[in-house]
Amino acid sequence: MTSDVTSIFSPRRIVQARRLQARTLRIQLQIAIRRILSGLTALKARIARTIQFQHELELLMHADDRMLADIGLTRFDVMSAAQESRGWRGRRDALQSAAIRRDEAAAVAHARRAGLPLAAAPPLAPALPHALETSNFR
């Protein structure tokens, strides 16, 4: 029995166990350092995007109304996006949705001026025959 205990605690086995422990610790430290570096890289990219957006928003703030109209925005859209508190993504989305609404309104106004038919809304009761949908009031 004493030979079993001495073989477990022999200097050779202790050295092997410490080497294995040091190797495991080194691998864990490498993994942690890689995760920290990837997180810092992602943070750096996010900060760069935020700075770029702030710069572009400042350019829009100083643009005149004709330039803003060319890209489908108004001064109010830019001012409201600048006051958004949802971060740069919320501001970007606010500007994009304002530009889309403005483009759609401009397309409708152009179609009206040109005398083109506008897209009609679907009938309220599509199963009814066409004769019942028409009104007697003209």
Domain ranges of the chain: 7-115
Token pair 């050295």 is at which residue? 15
pLDDT one-digit tens code per residue, 3-15: 555 666 677 888 8
pLDDT one-digit tens code per residue, 87-114: 666 667 777 777 777 777 777 777 777 7
Angle subtended at Cα 110 by Cα 66 and Cα 81, rounded to the nearest 5 degrees: 45
Cα–Cα distance for residue pair 78/60, rounded to 1 Å:
7
Contact between residue 57 and residue 78 where contact means Cβ atoms under 8 Å apart: yes
Look at residue 43 in the predicted model and tell me its pLDDT: 94
Look at residue 35 in the predicted model and tell me its pLDDT: 96
Comparing C-alpha atoms, which of 49, 91, 50 is closest to residue 73? Answer: 91
* Residue 45 confidence (pLDDT) above 50: yes
